[in-house]
A and B are shown apart, each in its own frame.
Chain A
Amino acid sequence: QVQLQQWGAGLLKPSETLSLTCDVNGGSFSGFYWNWIRQTPGKGLEWIGEINHSGSTNYNPSLKSRVTISIDTSKNQFSLKLNSVTAADTAMYYCARGFWDGYYYFDYWGQGNLVTVSS
């Protein structure tokens, strides 16, 4: 059974950098894309970006200038950094496994991290 466990700072000040890590237990780490998705009351679910085991990334164009997703295959972990945060980045952040087979969906999710940006 695949399990994703995530952690990171939950309270940030404006202009700081959000940093979250997701640990993957069970299943193969290669052959999938590893994603970050956030959820706000106002905007619903928003895809942030993804990385594969080779380190190839894709980002949501609306966040691309501020986002970095990295991977550590030796630990089966991947991470998110979002810089210059504002109150608009306050959200629940999820890591998720992306499965591609001509179409693309998220079959395993982490438990979520609530990140609040406030001065």
Chain B
Amino acid sequence: SYVLTQPPSVSVAPGQTARITCGGNNIGSKNVHWYQQKSGQAPVLVVYADTNRPSGIPERFSGFNSGNTATLSISRVDAGDEAAYYCQVWGVSSDHSVVFGGGTKLTVL
């Protein structure tokens, strides 16, 4: 089965840029989506199809996908961005299979 690998944790100082990676075999050929999950809340979509932001998501959130790694970048990080972030792909081994990464906890120092 297809595996998405994320680092368990990333730490960044306020005002800096956080980069969260999602590794997978030839992931650059797939569409990657990213979710933010704050403590005690349901996940929220922040980037879809590699680079697109849903309505209401700040421009500080951006995505890139190439080769074996997709990356979610969050610029000008503040305390409100502290959360777990998950990547997701679809259709990798059967028509409607959905795979999530293990999640990365972003800590704002």
- Could you tell me which A residues sit within 8 Å of B by CB distance? 33, 35, 44-47, 50, 58, 60-61, 94, 102-107, 109-112
Q: Is the interface of A mostly helix, strand, loop or mixed?
A: strand
Query: Any chain A CB within 8 A of the CB of B14?
Result: no
- Contact residues in B for A102 (Cβ distance below 8 Å): 31
- Could you tell me which B residues sit within 8 Å of A by CB distance? 31, 33, 35, 42-45, 48-49, 54, 86, 88, 90-91, 94-103
* Minimum distance in angstroms from B89 CB to a CB of chain A: 8
Contact A50-B86, Cβ < 8 Å, known A44-B103, A103-B31, A109-B42: no
Q: How far is the CA of A70 from the CA of B90 in the complex (A)?
A: 22
> A4 — nearest CB in chain B belongs to which residue?
B42
Q: Are A44 and B86 in contact, with the CB atoms below 8 A?
A: yes
